[in-house]
Structure 1
Amino acid sequence: MIGAFEFGLLYGVVALGVYLTFRVLNFPDLTVDGSLTTGAATAATALMSGWPPLMATAAGFVTGFIAGMITGLLHTKGKIDGLLAGILTMIALWSVNLRIMGGANVPLLRTDNLFTPLRDAGLLGTWAGPAILAVAVGILGLIVIWFLNTDIGLSLRFTGDNGPMVQSFGVSTDFTKILTISLSNGFVGLAGALIAQYQGFADISMGIGLIVIGLASVILGQAIFGQRRVWLAVLAVIVGAIAYRLIIFAALRVGLDPNDMKAISAILVVVAMLLPRWRAKFSKAPKPKQPVAVEA
């Protein structure tokens, strides 16, 4: 249970990245399936080369940011469909990640990382671990909320809502799209760096199906909390990531096959997307008229 909370908080960083493209920009970005591994591979290789853990983690963010920038440039400057641009970058990143790691995986079991002090102090595996991670992810969420309320952040939000109107005010939508996609994949790369250090290895396949996990977290959280305000939407995606990991944990505890987890994730996304429509449909359903009593 505690491990599910810890993993959920780490995947909350992924959910923040997916939220920026899926909700803020209204852009279906599949780059995240590759950029998570890119961030993990970069951080793991840097740690093995003797880099300080904080610098290696920051390098994971930077490489994820660059991956997102490539997708943004393909879409805006190359005029390639957004979905296809993300797929092309994701495919290319498979080879790039193998080059970075020099193989299919990089073990970190004997390498000091950001979580080593917590493990040495015996905090991981207790409720102190999720509490510390919640503070760190909460600070990151506050940064996202602050950024989205700045002038640049507002231009990003307006680009997703009405791109032509933003252009009429002299804002370059190409710049806002590239920046949003880059920041999104930067967060995903940061999450990959953290997850690799938490689990003790980076693997070439760790990002497969990540977009489904990210969407499940975003949609599940916002189906519960809604998205009327930015701070509420950001809180919702983090809580959604935790809820997703808890659902997966419960599914495994009741005896479901781990090979079925991808199908369960897809079903969660479908249910979360249909839930608001069902709720609206039943709330608008006409109530049956009560028979009027007639006096004799």
Structure 2
Amino acid sequence: NVPLFKNTIFLVSVMILVLIGLLYWFFGTELGCSIRATGGNDRMARAQGINTDFNRVLGLMVSNGLVALSGALLSQYQGFADINMGRGAIVIGLAAVIIGEAIFGKVFHNFGFRLLGVALGSIVYYLVLQVVIWLGVDTDLLKLLSAAVVAVFLAIPTWKGRYFKSAPKGGKS
């Protein structure tokens, strides 16, 4: 019987929650808010007196630091590092953001919960891939399949807006 503190899923969940907490705290500071403003609307942030060039570089530093942390944790968990370990990581990251926004975007309005939605989006992405593999789809087509999954989740907000419109408010009775 494995103790709880050695359970991989428990440790990763705790680390993700701690990381979300740290990011939520950082992006709530003045510097973090200026990074978010730069990402949201570069021209408006510059008009407000924010140094957008510095914020772009700082945003890249934070994101690359997170990538380095995840790569180090993966290497530590597996016990080795390989040049091909990060292949496809950008697709997985984009899929996590897109799926998290498509599924949890209307539910989570708080920035911290949106970060949690991205983490849950990555879990949904891997669950969809595992179900497809379990159904017997050829694993050589996995890259095509992952691109199709991302495309479907990109289209969900459009489909919601087009096919599931609610009745107009204040209309004729």
| Shorter-chain TM-score tier | 0.7 to 0.9
Q: 2:77 aligns with which of 182, 189, 198?
A: 198
- Partner-residue secondary structure (3-state), 2:81: strand
Residue 123 of structure 1 and its aligned partner are, at CA, apart by: 5.2
Q: 1:236 aligns with which of 117, 124, 127?
A: 117
Q: Percent identity?
A: 40
After superposing the two structures, state which structure 1 stretch, 245-254 or 147-156, moved more.
245-254
- Give the ranges of 4+ consecutive aligned residues of structure 1 lying more than 4 Å apart after TM superposition: none
Letter in 1 for 2:147: A
Letter in 1 for 2:94: L
Does residue 215 of structure 1 match 2:90?
A: no
Give 1:186's aligned residue.
65
Root-mean-square deviation over aligned CA pairs: 2.1
After TM superposition, the score normalised by the length of structure 2 is: 0.86
Letter in 1 for 2:127: L
| Residues 165-212 of structure 1, C-alpha deviations (whole Å, 9 max, x = no match) | 211222110000001111111101111111122223211112222111
Letter in 1 for 2:144: A
Partners of 2:139 and 2:2 lie apart in 1 by: 29
Does residue 254 of structure 1 match 2:135?
A: yes
Which runs of no fewer than 5 residues in structure 1 stay unpaired?
A: 1-120, 288-296
Letter in 1 for 2:50: V
Does the Cα contact within 8 Å between 1:123 and 1:129 map onto a contact in 2? no
Alignment of 1:83-98 (within 5 A): none
After TM superposition, the score normalised by the length of structure 1 is: 0.52
- State the aligned residue count: 165
Give 1:279's aligned residue.
160
Partners of 2:81 and 2:101 lie apart in 1 by: 30
Alignment of 1:75-114 (within 5 A): none
Which runs of no fewer than 5 residues in structure 2 stay unpaired?
A: 169-173
Alignment of 1:1-296 (within 5 A): 122=2, 128-226=7-105, 228-284=109-165
Partners of 1:185 and 1:237 lie apart in 2 by: 17
| Residues 273-293 of structure 1, C-alpha deviations (whole Å, 9 max, x = no match) | 110010011133779xxxxxx
> RCO higher in 1 or 2 (8 Å CA, sep ≥ 6)?
1
Partners of 1:201 and 1:244 lie apart in 2 by: 25
Partners of 2:79 and 2:44 lie apart in 1 by: 47
Partners of 2:142 and 2:79 lie apart in 1 by: 22
- Partner-residue secondary structure (3-state), 1:201: coil
**CA distance 1:201–1:258, shift in 2 (3 Å):** farther
Larger Rg: 1
